[in-house]
Structure 1
Amino acid sequence: MLSWNWFRHPSGRSLEELNCIKDEIAAYEFSHNGKDEWKWSLHGSGHFHTSVLTELITMRLSSEAATTSTLRNNFLPQKVEIFVWQVLKNRLSVRTELEKRGIDLDSTRCPICENHIGTLDHTLLHCSFALEIWGRVHC
């Protein structure tokens, strides 16, 4: 049991935050010998090992590759592959996606042309700037 010694008792938002912290703390078991330590739940020993983490990531990526089709091209730089993957998975941080993730924006309009909603299609295909770039690429 934790004891609290306050200079000034919290109220309002501070009290709400304190209650959230208390709820988080309640989920942990503290040792009685005075030696609390972090335990890593992904390994039986409770200790963090980069080799185990690398193995887990490799297993996860290989299982995802087995269940979904992936785009691999040895001629493209990795950052281009990542960009294409983000486009295919609708993971680019365009205005509408940021708003869906709860990020407070002044507007969801395209920051370049300000004429249309900043969707993925608009940003990559229909925006005046994108059309200019595509025109230069196709020359």
Structure 2
Amino acid sequence: MENGVWHWDWTRILGSRNECALQQLVSVVKNTVLIDRQDTWYWEHTSGGIYRVRSARNIIDRFRIHLVPKTINWLTFIPRKVNVFIWRFVLNCLPTRWNLLAEGVVLDSIICPVCRVGIETASHLFLVAKTFKKCGQ
């Protein structure tokens, strides 16, 4: 931020989802007033004025909460990476070709390399895997 104006300089082109998330974030913080004090800034989104990652996360979650159909229950008896995988699947944040394209990654093709027919999305991958299992392939 310089003279009250946000300046964004990205190393790569933002995908449509990131662009949308950035616009939402800017709309939340555009009226934020930073008060210059010695060794401190005031964060208006908490009662004490102290910035915490949790307070920023809560603001972001208010915009994203509609994407999650229900609360994710972390199961302690399965590996953490399985919990994270399920969480990312529910949020549609797995690095499928479709999601990578939406993030601005340049790809040769978004066609599924397994079946070579459909677009590679998370639901497509699991549907194809299930179909191949039934067919014995």
Q: Scaled by the length of structure 1, what TM-score is found?
A: 0.46
Q: Which has the higher contact order (CA 8 A, sep 6+)?
A: 2
Q: Scaled by the length of structure 2, what TM-score is found?
A: 0.46
